């Protein structure tokens, strides 16, 4: 790649010589060098070559309130001056973490009034794994160990996160653990075959019951799922799926962990994905939108019945140096204040999400598009060779071609295989949505042209 700014080359050399990047094709990265992002404001990024890019992914699904919010910088700076660090271990605490715990439970579903803090979503899911097993041990059922996840679910990149998730590429690289099993995902477009979406939704949900019976209810600790799978490709389950899962969960004595890392804090137009679907989780994993990504923080929101058992249980031998970090907590508190006071989630629900969904669906008429689906501030565009039969192009990598065109034309859209996905900042305006959809159409045109 030729560069205009000599500093770009310097940074790319640093990348090649000193940096091991997360989730990247190392060979390709070495050859091409990374794009260097240098600043951001609102929903736009700038790279070191001076290109302005609309960030259709809110960073990695996290920058809910948009870039460049002074209040968040101020919250961090003033907390650093007051108390830059202390921990929550061994019978100590500090005001930001405690006040944040209360603020989170004020927006969480009723009956979930305790929070365990972590540094990330992955650590949140590690916490879940240990917490549910500890819970059942305290209840006198230590054999309840197995956790049921889903194929193509994403729960993070620590060993427990990778193992709970259903990404084969991660399992193959040391990401498995005993006592974790997976069931089918509710991905109608890719896997529904001849079934109607509704019939497929019921079928996919029934796999949970089948698995509980196969493993034995006495051995199952929990089921973990994202209300809408994000990293798996914005997979919005058929309408029959969650009601059927709810029915099954009510029948068996197992805990339900809703991984709200992507859906939480407004992405669906409700505070949590479980609010949108009317689910009743026992534990909810949170991260990303909690701080709008300005600083790392995650956690687990815990239902009162579970918290009550834990609180009688003596030591819980688990926690992180940065659990509830005061600076992160101060930023999260301010971020929640912004979400609440500026009625950002209300605006998503009433105005911008309906507009985004309407405009995105206009892309259905494009010859390359097999399906447009979306909900709230989430969207997916399936790229296909044949719409009617949902047939993909044989040559893999149509998504990557499209993604490159997007990048080169000032739009960040992610490719999951041949599925293009978006999750813009929640503060995106209708005019910016127009910009997003127009750029997306242009890149679909360029992709189609390149395939000819």
106 neighbors 288 (Cβ within 8 angstroms) = no
- List the one residue out of 214, 203, 205 whose CA is nearest residue 181: 214
- Work out how close the CB of 65 gets to ligand PXG at its nearest, in angstroms, rounded to a whole number: 17
Which residue of this chain has its Cβ atom nearest to ligand PXG in the complex?
A: 121
285 neighbors 120 (Cβ within 8 angstroms) = no
259's tokens: 């991984």
Nearest to ligand PXG of 186, 298 (CB atom): 298
Nearest to ligand PXG of 103, 231 (CB atom): 231
- Work out how close the CB of 230 gets to ligand PXG at its nearest, in angstroms, rounded to a whole number: 5
**Gyration radius of the chain over CA positions:** 22
- Work out how close the CB of 119 gets to ligand PXG at its nearest, in angstroms, rounded to a whole number: 8
289's tokens: 């939108």
Nearest to ligand PXG of 155, 244 (CB atom): 155
Nearest to ligand PXG of 66, 273 (CB atom): 273
Question: Tokens 């427990």 map to which residue?
Answer: 160
Nearest to ligand PXG of 53, 262 (CB atom): 262
Nearest to ligand PXG of 108, 262 (CB atom): 262
399 neighbors 368 (Cβ within 8 angstroms) = no
- Work out how close the CB of 391 gets to ligand PXG at its nearest, in angstroms, rounded to a whole number: 25
Where does this chain bind ligand PXG (CB under 6 A)?
60, 120-122, 125, 154-156, 161, 226, 230-231, 259, 261-262, 285, 287, 298
269 neighbors 276 (Cβ within 8 angstroms) = yes
Residues 386, 382: Cα–Cα separation, whole Å: 11
236's tokens: 């919005």
- Work out how close the CB of 24 gets to ligand PXG at its nearest, in angstroms, rounded to a whole number: 11
- List the one residue out of 140, 307, 318, 126 whose CA is nearest residue 224: 126
- Work out how close the CB of 421 gets to ligand PXG at its nearest, in angstroms, rounded to a whole number: 8
Residues 52, 68: Cα–Cα separation, whole Å: 15
- Work out how close the CB of 120 gets to ligand PXG at its nearest, in angstroms, rounded to a whole number: 3
Task: Count CB-CB contacts under 10 A for residue 431.
Answer: 8
Residues 23, 165: Cα–Cα separation, whole Å: 15
Residues 151, 167: Cα–Cα separation, whole Å: 7
CA angle 358, 377, 379 (to 5 degrees): 65
Nearest to ligand PXG of 8, 273 (CB atom): 273
Long-range contacts of 305-310 (CB under 8 A, 24+ apart): 305/111, 306/131, 306/135, 306/255, 306/282, 307/113, 307/114, 309/135, 309/138, 309/139, 310/131, 310/134, 310/135, 310/138
Nearest to ligand PXG of 344, 378 (CB atom): 378
- Work out how close the CB of 275 gets to ligand PXG at its nearest, in angstroms, rounded to a whole number: 16
């Amino acid at each position: 790649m030729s560069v205009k700014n000599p500093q770009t080359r310097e940074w790319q050399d640093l990348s090649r010589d000193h940096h091991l990047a997360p989730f990247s094709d190392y060979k390709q990265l070495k050859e091409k060098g990374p794009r260097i992002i240098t600043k951001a404001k609102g929903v736009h990024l700038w790279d070191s070559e001076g290109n302005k890019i609309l960030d259709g992914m809110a960073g990695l699904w996290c920058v809910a309130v948009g870039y460049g919010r002074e209040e968040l910088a101020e919250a961090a700076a003033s907390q650093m001056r007051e108390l830059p660090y202390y921990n929550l271990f061994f019978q100590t605490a500090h005001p930001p973490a405690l006040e944040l715990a209360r603020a989170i439970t004020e927006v969480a579903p009723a009956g979930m009034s305790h929070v365990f803090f972590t540094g990330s979503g992955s650590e949140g899911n590690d916490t879940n794994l240990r917490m549910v097993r500890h819970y059942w041990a305290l209840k006198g059922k230590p054999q309840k160990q197995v956790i049921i996840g889903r194929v193509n679910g994403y729960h993070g990149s620590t060993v427990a996160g990778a193992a709970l998730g259903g990404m084969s590429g991660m399992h193959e690289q040391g990401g498995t653990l005993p006592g974790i099993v997976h069931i089918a995902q509710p991905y109608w477009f890719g896997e529904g075959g001849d079934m109607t979406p509704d019939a497929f939704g019921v079928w996919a949900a029934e796999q949970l019951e089948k698995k509980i019976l196969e493993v034995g209810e006495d051995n199952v600790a929990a089921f973990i799922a994202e209300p809408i799978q994000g990293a798996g490709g914005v997979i919005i389950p058929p309408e029959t799926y969650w009601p059927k899962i709810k029915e099954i969960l009510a029948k068996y004595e197992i805990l339900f962990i809703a991984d709200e890392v992507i859906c939480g804090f407004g992405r669906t137009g409700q505070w949590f994905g479980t609010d949108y679907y009317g689910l009743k989780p026992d534990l909810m994993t949170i991260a990303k939108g909690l701080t709008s990504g300005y600083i790392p923080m995650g956690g687990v929101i815990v239902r009162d019945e579970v918290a009550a058992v834990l609180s009688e249980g003596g030591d819980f031998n688990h926690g992180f140096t940065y659990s509830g970090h005061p600076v992160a907590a101060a930023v999260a508190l301010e971020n929640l204040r912004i979400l609440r006071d500026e009625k950002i989630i209300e605006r998503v629900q009433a105005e911008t999400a309906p507009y985004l969904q309407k405009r995105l669906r206009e892309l259905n008429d494009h010859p390359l598009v097999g399906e447009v689906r979306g909900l709230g501030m989430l969207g997916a565009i399936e790229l296909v060779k044949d719409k009617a039969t949902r047939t993909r192009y044989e040559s893999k990598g149509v998504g990557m071609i499209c993604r490159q065109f997007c990048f080169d034309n000032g739009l960040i859209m992610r490719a999951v295989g041949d599925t293009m996905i978006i999750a813009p900042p929640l503060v995106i305006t209708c005019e910016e949505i127009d910009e997003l959809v127009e750029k997306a159409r242009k890149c679909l045109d360029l992709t189609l042209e390149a395939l000819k």
